[in-house]
């Protein structure tokens, strides 16, 4: 038994944050029914690459373990089916533009009247209330507006987005946390509730130590590229044939690194005797270290630091990362019916995640689901409710 076996989730979402939430719940054992328009989730067309069945890699990354039903929510004939689904659901996830759910009769007020135990999770760009409620929300835009781009990229170059949609992914994971908490609350109260999550709120919270430093100091955060604002050395260095990263995050590691490098003079230098002073004198210290590391190959320095237990690593490509021995040992690469995917990072001793279904074709399970709830698919097709 998986952790969420017996939990039914209705997913009215597209692109990434909502589908990511739905897939995580599905990996944990929930039955996730993805309700799609006749056009389908936007990511179905986001490619290349596509596989032989026309499934895009983007769609595949966040939609395994789900069943897909094509339904036109605007057609009155679809309403009885939707209410039947809602009546048996535990969780509903939606990321409509603000006001759309109300227009379609799918807002929390109306659906909680159908099922008082329903946990209704809204995901939006800027929340369902306040000055940004009517704005569309995309990861890239929120990375910019939420401060992340200002601290990402070369110190002397342009601001940059992160290479993957981290705000979407973080919001999806926040949604999972909130849903699990709401399920726990329902056990004692017997009632569901509404959850309101936004990409913007998630991004502000994910400023973490950088946001906290600005609040403490009153000074804006600089862009430091691969350097760290409050730990030195904690950055990338060039070698004679490449580049690697070094992460000396404690005084113990500083001692180990200096001894391994044969630089006891750095341990005695009053400019470097603690973390705060190393931050103050980062330019001088890192310039000295850069000269040293430039004398030998990357493999030499990585082997040296590995011997003494100091964190250091090559800067791998995505292909190299996916073929990493740790990724293989932890079985992070999975394949379902010929569709390759990155698996779940969650590991349990008693209720493991499961991979039961490949990413569904558009409307693949429409007839199965419609019949399960006692409706005639032929009649609903004639009425334009499903395809």
Cite the active site residues.
Answer: 168
Residue 359's Cβ-count burial label (10 Å; 0-12, 13-18, 19+) is: buried
CA distance 193 to 183: 9
CA distance 333 to 273: 44
CA distance 106 to 211: 36
CA distance 122 to 197: 6
Token readout for 112 is 């909680």
> DSSP class of residue 221?
P
CA distance 176 to 23: 10
335 Cβ contact partners less than 8 Å away, ≥ 6 residues apart: 341
Cβ-contact 93, 11 below 8 angstroms: yes
> DSSP class of residue 56?
B
Paired with 377 in beta bridges are none
């Amino acid at each position: 038994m998986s952790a969420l076996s017996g939990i039914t989730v209705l997913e009215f979402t597209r692109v990434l944050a909502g589908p990511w939430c739905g897939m995580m719940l599905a990996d944990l054992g929930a039955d996730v029914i993805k309700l799609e328009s006749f056009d389908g989730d936007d990511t179905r067309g986001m490619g290349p690459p596509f596989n032989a069945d026309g499934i895009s890699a983007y769609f595949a990354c966040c939609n395994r373990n789900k069943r897909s039903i094509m339904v036109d929510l605007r057609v009155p004939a679809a309403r009885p089916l939707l209410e039947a689904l809602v009546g048996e659901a535990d969780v509903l996830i939606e990321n409509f533009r603000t006001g759309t759910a109300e227009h379609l009769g799918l807002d929390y007020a109306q659906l909680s009247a159908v099922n008082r135990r329903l946990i209704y999770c809204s995901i939006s760009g800027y929340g369902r209330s306040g000055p940004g409620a009517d704005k569309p929300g995309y990861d890239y835009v929120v990375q910019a507006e939420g401060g992340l781009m200002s601290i990402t990229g070369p110190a002397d170059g342009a601001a940059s987005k992160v290479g993957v949609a981290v705000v979407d992914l973080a919001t999806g994971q926040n949604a999972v946390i909130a849903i699990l908490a709401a399920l726990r609350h329902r056990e004692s109260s017997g009632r569901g509730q509404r959850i309101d999550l936004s990409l913007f709120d998630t991004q502000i919270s994910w400023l973490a130590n950088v946001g906290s430093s600005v609040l403490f100091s009153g000074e804006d955060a600089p862009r430091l590229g691969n350097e760290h604002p409050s730990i030195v050395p904690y950055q990338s260095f060039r070698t004679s044939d490449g580049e690697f990263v070094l992460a000396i995050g404690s005084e113990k590691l500083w001692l180990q690194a200096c001894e391994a490098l044969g630089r006891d003079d750095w341990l005695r230098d009053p400019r470097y005797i603690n973390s705060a002073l190393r931050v103050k004198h980062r330019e001088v210290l890192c310039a000295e270290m850069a000269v040293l590391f430039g004398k030998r190959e990357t493999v030499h320095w990585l082997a040296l630091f590995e011997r003494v237990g100091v964190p250091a690593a090559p800067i791998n490509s995505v292909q190299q990362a996916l073929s990493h021995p740790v990724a293989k040992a932890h079985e992070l690469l999975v394949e379902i019916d010929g569709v390759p995917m990155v698996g779940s990072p969650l590991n349990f001793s008693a209720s493991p995640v499961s991979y039961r279904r490949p990413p569904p074709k558009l409307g693949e399970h429409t007839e199965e689901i419609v019949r399960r709830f006692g409706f005639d698919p032929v009649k609903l097709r004639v009425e334009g409710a499903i395809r």
